[in-house]
């Protein structure tokens, strides 16, 4: 049996990161060398005896995986900012470190958030769908053809207001939005970190909402950017939608289950809200062509591509390998979750 520490890696990595990993010749690397999600049975089988595991957000890191790995397990390095696929408590009690990538994907996800707001407000999915189906509107011009709400003048409500929310705000300010409300896990309280120095300098009101009801009822754009926890699961549901404005749009770039999909479909059917832009949805990736959300003309859905720029994915992969190596050596990680 090899004396070198074993690391399990659940995906073929982008070249730069793969080279960085392989440059460490002291490691016994066991890798799922496919571009498809790692098979759970394979992972459990190979995790036995591992000192480190590099995994994706599509891999569940739970008691079963951790205890199967054994007492020598030192580090989990997740290729993601979200860590809802990881049982933090199970890691904390065994003093296993957790690395993640919260900083390098901020810009890419904030860019996509702005894209989804504009697509939802300006009916981009519906408009493009018509053109693709050969249904280019036949009237030469019509004052109300394909009209939607305007981003300038909007009150923007952030459910969760960390780095990605604040980077989104930075991009929205030049559009002329008029007010910001935000809700964090400490309702009514000012945010702890002004990551880009925009909160104190902005010329529009940026206020903590006292509760989700205020945020839902006063926002023209609601951006879901909070972590998925037992408290936030289905936070945006029937009641939330019934509080929202008729011309408001909902954007979810966080995790699917924060939004109750059935309630969203009902809200769109009843025209309780104007539209939605989703990067994530409950039960992804199992979304088939007959999913009822796909029959909603005012809902734009993209397949969890928030961080999918080439530069960002290279950086995420590199930092994840760095976190893995640092965790094995007991050194500082690029970013470590405080467990
Ligand atoms: C993550 O890394 O958690 C994000 O969902 C990527 O978009």
> Residue 24: its pLDDT value, please?
87
Report CA(228)–ligand 1 centroid distance (Å): 12
| Minimum-distance ligand 1 atom for the alpha carbon of 304 | 7
> Residue 142: its pLDDT value, please?
82
Supply the residue whose CA is at minimum distance from atom 6 of ligand 1: 307
Tell me if 307 CB under 6 Å of ligand 1: yes
106-301 shares the fold of 6-103+311-329 = yes
Report CA(79)–ligand 1 centroid distance (Å): 8
User: How many other C-beta atoms lie within 10 A of the C-beta of residue 295?
Assistant: 11
Torsion, Cα 279 285 289 290, to 10 degrees, reads: -100
> Residue 258: its pLDDT value, please?
98
Looking at domain 106-301, its CATH class is alpha beta
CB within 8 Å of 207: residues ≥ 6 apart? 179, 180, 181, 182
Report CA(82)–ligand 1 centroid distance (Å): 6
Q: Residue 152: phi, psi to the nearest 5?
A: -60, 135
| Minimum-distance ligand 1 atom for the alpha carbon of 108 | 7
The C-alpha atoms of residue 221 and residue 176 are separated, in whole angstroms, by 13
Q: What is the DSSP letter of 193?
A: -
46 among known catalytic residues? no
Contact 68, 47 (CB under 8 A): yes
Contact 126, 191 (CB under 8 A): no
Contact 163, 240 (CB under 8 A): no
Ligand 1 pocket test: pick from 54, 58, 59, 81 the residue with the most ligand atoms within 8 Å of its Cβ.
81
| Minimum-distance ligand 1 atom for the alpha carbon of 306 | 7
Ligand 1 pocket test: pick from 56, 105, 224, 313 the residue with the most ligand atoms within 8 Å of its Cβ.
105
Supply the residue whose CA is at minimum distance from atom 5 of ligand 1: 82
Tokens at residue 80, please? 């993601």
Q: What's the complex ipTM?
A: 0.95
Supply the residue whose CA is at minimum distance from atom 3 of ligand 1: 82
Tell me if 172 CB under 6 Å of ligand 1: no
Contact 221, 248 (CB under 8 A): yes
| Minimum-distance ligand 1 atom for the alpha carbon of 316 | 2
> Residue 3: its pLDDT value, please?
81
**pLDDT block averages, 10 residues each, the chain of length 339:** 88 96 94 93 98 97 98 98 97 98 97 98 96 85 90 98 98 98 94 94 96 98 97 98 98 98 98 98 97 98 98 98 98 98
> Residue 269: its pLDDT value, please?
98
> Residue 198: its pLDDT value, please?
95
Q: Which CATH superfamily is domain 6-103+311-329 in?
A: NAD(P)-binding Rossmann-like Domain (3.40.50.720)
The C-alpha atoms of residue 181 and residue 69 are separated, in whole angstroms, by 44
Helix extents (H) in the chain:
15-22, 40-47, 63-69, 88-94, 106-121, 124-132, 163-172, 212-218, 238-243, 261-269, 310-329
> Residue 143: its pLDDT value, please?
86
> Residue 1: its pLDDT value, please?
55
| Minimum-distance ligand 1 atom for the alpha carbon of 79 | 2
pTM assigned to the model? 0.95
Report CA(236)–ligand 1 centroid distance (Å): 19
Tell me if 322 CB under 6 Å of ligand 1: no
Tell me if 320 CB under 6 Å of ligand 1: no
- Three-class SS of residue 141? coil
Q: Where are the domains of the chain?
A: 6-103+311-329, 106-301
> Residue 138: its pLDDT value, please?
77
Torsion, Cα 249 255 259 264, to 10 degrees, reads: 60
């Amino acid at each position: 049996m090899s004396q070198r520490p074993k690391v399990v890696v659940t995906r073929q990595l982008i070249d730069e990161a793969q080279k960085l990993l392989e440059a460490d010749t002291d490691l016994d690397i066991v890798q799922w060398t496919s571009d498809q999600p790692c098979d759970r049975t394979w992972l459990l089988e190979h995790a036995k005896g591992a000192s480190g595991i590099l995994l994706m957000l599509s891999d569940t890191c739970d008691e079963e995986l951790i205890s199967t790995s054994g007492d020598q397990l030192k580090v989990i390095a997740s290729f993601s900012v979200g860590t809802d696929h990881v049982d933090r408590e199970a890691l904390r009690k065994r003093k296993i470190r957790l690395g993640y990538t919260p900083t390098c994907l901020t810009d890419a996800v904030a860019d996509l958030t702005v894209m989804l707001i504009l697509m939802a407000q300006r009916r981009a999915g519906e408009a493009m769908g018509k053109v693709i189906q050969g249904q280019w509107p036949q009237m030469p011009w019509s004052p109300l053809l394909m009209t939607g709400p305007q981003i300038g003048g909007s009150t923007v409500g952030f459910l969760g207001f960390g780095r990605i929310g604040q980077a989104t705000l930075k991009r929205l300010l030049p559009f002329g939005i008029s007010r910001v409300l935000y809700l964090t896990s400490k309702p009514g309280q000012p945010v702890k970190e002004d990551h880009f120095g925009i909160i104190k300098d902005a010329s529009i009101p940026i206020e903590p909402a006292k509760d989700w009801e205020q945020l839902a009822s006063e926002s023209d754009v609601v951006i879901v950017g909070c972590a998925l926890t037992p408290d936030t699961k289905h936070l945006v549901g029937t009641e939330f939608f019934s509080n929202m404005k008729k011309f408001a749009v909902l954007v979810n770039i966080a995790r699917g289950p924060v939004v109750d999909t059935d309630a969203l479909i009902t809200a769109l059917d009843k025209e309780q809200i104007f539209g939605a832009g989703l990067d994530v949805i409950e039960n992804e990736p199992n979304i088939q062509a007959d999913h009822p959300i796909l029959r909603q003309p005012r809902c734009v859905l993209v397949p969890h591509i928030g961080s999918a720029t080439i530069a960002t994915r290279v950086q995420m992969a590199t930092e994840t390998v760095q976190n893995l190596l640092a965790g094995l050596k007991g050194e500082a990680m690029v970013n470590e979750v405080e467990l």
